[in-house]
A and B are shown apart, each in its own frame.
Chain A
Amino acid sequence: MEKAALLKMTGISKTFPGVKALDNVDFSINEGEVVGLLGENGAGKSTLMKILSGIYTPDSGDIWLEGKKIVLRGTKHSQRAGISIIHQELNLLPHLTVAENIYIHSLPRKGFSLDKKRLFLDAERLLGELGFEINPKAIVDDLTVGTQQMVEIAKALSFQSKVIIMDEPTSAITEQETAKLFEIIRSLKEKGIAIIYISHRMEEIYEICDRVVVLRDGCNAGGGLSKELKPDQIVGMLVGRELTQIFPKRQGRVSQEVVLEIKNLGRKGVFENISFQLHKGEILGFSGLMGSGRTELMESIFGVEPISSGEIWIDGKQKKVRSTRDTISQGFALVPEDRRQHGMIGNFSVTHNITLATLKRFAGRFRKVSARREREAADRHISELRIKSPHGGTVITNLSGGNQQKVIIAKWLESKPRILILDEPTRGIDIGAKSEIYQIIQQLAAQGTSIIMISSELPEVIGMSDRILVMADGRITGEFTREEVTPEKIMLCATKGGEV
């Protein structure tokens, strides 16, 4: 039976200075439907969603909600109309309680003061209806990311939302939390709420979405019922070409030369008894669940956080690691997990980000940095890594996520590292850029760079690594070669450490 669309967008166009972000895009969603919105970074997904949440006004096109044409003026207006967005970076006030966060838009008052009693009662009732086991009096900062996400969902529903947009909701939560999230989505579906689900993970799309809509270069690139589409058909729509194998073939051979040896490394309460070797030209994958201590271990090896026990041996010699300066001078490099907070200098240009770690090498007389040499180096990386940027002087925040990541990688390639640590190198990056980054990693390894790659995506860690270590609860719980590894073996070791 054909239902009238709950929400319909027709002929949406939006131009930013120099970029046509959206060109005549159509989109619709029905009551109780989950629609996967797919597209590489820069394809126009977030622009479309920002129009829907009232942040941008379209240059042309109409939006219809429940058969009525509406014009969205600002985020509050959009929320009142019944459209909520849950951003990838959650928008909660960390030091307030769960209840306060849920009702921050309309806190109940008693005279001039906050009606705390009613606030907590309302929150408790709402959370109860949703079946969320969250204490409304808990401070948001103390909750896990997955629970915080549930608070965001409760907040969205406190607006009586009819449409909820979820922007990569699983990018920072554990497998269990993802399963829980999907349960919640299914129950919202039954209540007739429409969900626009943005994700790069194909398995999730198949598991949760009824239908997919694909955008490419600001235009509709196809779509259909997810059960009728094959993965390579979707990937074809995404990239505009059939992408048969995204993991490049391994070139070169791993040598037996040990460049880094970690012996019984520990940091109180975070990880313990970590020992492993890294060979020249090897890609060593680190798998495990969120919070298993992988990121913290790498931070300690890189000299960001102190260790409380153990030894670090570089080229067969024991080294004291006190700061990032020590390790960088030994040829280490680290591409951090959190690109925005830890990777890039937001108001620097692409060029200045690329030269940041090696700036001294560009300085001449009177410590003057040669702008010409900086530009040359940056231009070389921009063309080699195919960074899509108008020119090197463009501020890095104007680039798509994948291209920002390439800039961070370029920063470290400029330092010609011997040991490159990559922490979730392709998180939140579209498939096209992912495959390019995989090629870069393979090339580096073939040239003799030793690579440690942390990844939560099993296909990625299995497809890329020569050897895989699995961590759980701050300990190494498994080691596999490329030949013997299977997703099941990894998951078994990753969940060994007890409850998460």
Chain B
Amino acid sequence: MSVESRNLDADLDSMYQEIILDHYRNPMHSGLREPFEAEVHHVNPTCGDEVTMRVHLSEDHSTIEDVSYDALGCSISQAGSSVMSELVIGKSVDEAMAVHQAFLELMQGKGKVVPDEDVLEDGVAFAGVAKFPARVKCALLGWMAMKDAVSAVLASESAHVSEVATEGEDR
């Protein structure tokens, strides 16, 4: 076996970390739950991976109380949703978005970004995925859905506020 081929296997092993495979086999927080303020459905049209994602925010919309999901897809996309939910549940929306941003940077870093384990916890296991451009979208599917669902709740809040404001003007 040549040196190059050993590297290829090493790359493969760096993507399929035991942590990722564990999350794939035993996904955290999976299954759709109530209550929730927004539900989104995201697909990766090139490969058909799908996720239905619900978020439940605290009453003042400052904290992510729960994230629940139903995901179909490869090990990377399923583990992505599992790690994401584990990371953001209980965090403030601002903190969760900062973690989202850190994960996005890791994924878009072509394998050259050194992840911060304090921020990303199990998410650091995805560092190897960034070396496989075709799989980055898999890793991001659940994260993008979560962000979209949170945005939907916040948008409905501002819509609600503006609705109230409009009513006030009418009167």
Q: Do A and B share a complex? A: no
Please report A residues at the B interface, Cβ cutoff 8 Å: none
Please report B residues at the A interface, Cβ cutoff 8 Å: none
